[in-house]
Structure 1
Amino acid sequence: MNKSLGIMLVDDQAERAQMVCEQLRAAGYRLLAQLSSAEGLLYQVERHKPDIVLIDIESPDRDILESLAIINRQAPTPVAVFSARGNAEFIARAVESGVSAYMAEGISAERVQPAIEIAMAQFRSYQQLRQSLERTQKQLDERKAIERAKGLLMAKKNLSEDAAHKTLRNLAMSSNATMRAVAEQIIHYFQPGN
């Protein structure tokens, strides 16, 4: 584990936060920011660009989960939450909001490094899965557009499926465009009203 990771700490207890900051620095981590509340969390994440966010708040609430969900969409960042609030429903909602690791106990020197390692590993795994899903969705959308354009060419120009596919491919090559782009142009051209 690379201990030179940049960390943002959100802790609503000043004395505990100071102790945790000292422990993080002693362990070789870079403390980029220390916040006493999760207010403006997205702005702080975008400003400091931490490698990971550690949150230790006595009573995390729905507002924090909403902030984390926005961060997960707009500036994906690993997040580890330490909280005495350990009911299963809240933990499930936290994970849905983008929390990479949830420790149902307060933060301590012994728990920080394992939590960071878990959060980083979970985050990487989730990001790989997300990217794979996005690629698959893009390929599926491309295939659907091509199939629809072929169907339109077959119906409107009385072409066989093979001839429609060759027409698409030739148009793409001659216009130096992707088959999807050509397919979308054909779909647009044959839409009612055009």
Structure 2
Amino acid sequence: MTNISPAIMLVDDNQERAHLVCECLKSAGYTIVAQISSAEGLLFQVEKYRPDVVLIDIESPDRDILESLAIVNREAPTPVAMFSSHNSADFISRAVESGVSAYMAEGITTERVAPAIEIAMAQFKSFQLLRQSLEKTQQQLSDRKTIERAKGLLMAKKKLNEEDAHKILRKLAMSSNATMHAIAEQLIQYFQSEH
């Protein structure tokens, strides 16, 4: 099994440095899918080239780049490693909130590139798993609320206790090969249409 190296998109506003970084990345076995000089239109570029990692090395990153990263993070989540001389806690915090997975408060060097890429990919993966887990938990809570509401309606309309209402929901779900949540939604709609 061959170990495929990540495809990198480099965003660097210094042409000379960008060339050196690209050479460094290529010699380390990385594939450069795109090299751009600003974060303008970053979402379009990410969707066009589909990099495994976005590597940003900009002299003075500003709010515009953070807004571009936030859009990418929302629309096409991708690991981002940022190298910057900005070392204020406030800026770093805003960068992380915008979707930066690894922030290096020093300039880019040959020694720092590979670890930054690995950190960005690991942090990104960890964050995505956490986000999926949270979304699943929120969905389960929402489903449970719907089921409880349907049980409450059954109890009120049919003069049942909670256990019997639950049994009816479960039986309907099994007989129609549907989830209890789906049956609960149908019952809620049915009872609402009665009014």
Q: Name the stretch that deviates more: 2-11 or 89-98.
A: 2-11
The equivalent residue for 1:88 is: 89
Task: List runs of 5+ in structure 1 lacking aligned partners.
Answer: none
The equivalent residue for 2:37 is: 36
Deviations 1:26-64 (A, max 9, x none): 000000000000011011111111110000111111121
For residues 91 and 173 of structure 1, the distance between their equivalents in structure 2, rounded to whole angstroms, comes to 52
Q: Name the stretch that deviates more: 28-37 or 56-65.
A: 56-65
Q: 1:3 to 1:81 in 2, by over 3 A?
A: farther
Matched residues, number: 193
The equivalent residue for 1:50 is: 51
Report the CA distance between 1:110 and its aligned residue: 1.1
Structure 2 letter corresponding to 1:135: K
For residues 52 and 9 of structure 1, the distance between their equivalents in structure 2, rounded to whole angstroms, comes to 9
Q: Name the stretch that deviates more: 93-102 or 168-177.
A: 168-177
The equivalent residue for 1:178 is: 179
Asked whether the 8 Å contact 1:21–1:31 carries over to 2, the reply is yes
For residues 191 and 62 of structure 1, the distance between their equivalents in structure 2, rounded to whole angstroms, comes to 48
Instruction: State the secondary structure of the residue aligned to 2:125.
Output: helix
For residues 59 and 123 of structure 1, the distance between their equivalents in structure 2, rounded to whole angstroms, comes to 24
Asked whether the 8 Å contact 1:9–1:54 carries over to 2, the reply is yes
The equivalent residue for 1:111 is: 112
Report the CA distance between 1:192 and its aligned residue: 7.1
Report the CA distance between 1:191 and its aligned residue: 2.9
The equivalent residue for 1:74 is: 75
For residues 18 and 54 of structure 2, the distance between their equivalents in structure 1, rounded to whole angstroms, comes to 13
Q: 1:90 to 1:81 in 2, by over 3 A?
A: same
For residues 134 and 162 of structure 1, the distance between their equivalents in structure 2, rounded to whole angstroms, comes to 29
Task: List runs of 5+ in structure 2 lacking aligned partners.
Answer: none
The equivalent residue for 1:24 is: 25
Report the CA distance between 1:135 and its aligned residue: 1.2
For residues 42 and 97 of structure 1, the distance between their equivalents in structure 2, rounded to whole angstroms, comes to 13
Instruction: State the secondary structure of the residue aligned to 2:192.
Output: coil
For residues 24 and 102 of structure 2, the distance between their equivalents in structure 1, rounded to whole angstroms, comes to 19
Asked whether the 8 Å contact 1:3–1:27 carries over to 2, the reply is no
Instruction: State the secondary structure of the residue aligned to 1:191.
Output: helix
The equivalent residue for 1:10 is: 11
The equivalent residue for 1:135 is: 136
Report the CA distance between 1:152 and its aligned residue: 0.9
Report the CA distance between 1:71 and its aligned residue: 1.4
Structure 2 letter corresponding to 1:77: T
Normalized against structure 2, the TM-score is what? 0.94
Normalized against structure 1, the TM-score is what? 0.95
The equivalent residue for 1:161 is: 162
Q: Name the stretch that deviates more: 91-100 or 167-176.
A: 167-176
Structural RMSD (CA): 1.4
Instruction: State the secondary structure of the residue aligned to 1:80.
Output: strand
Report the CA distance between 1:189 and its aligned residue: 2.4
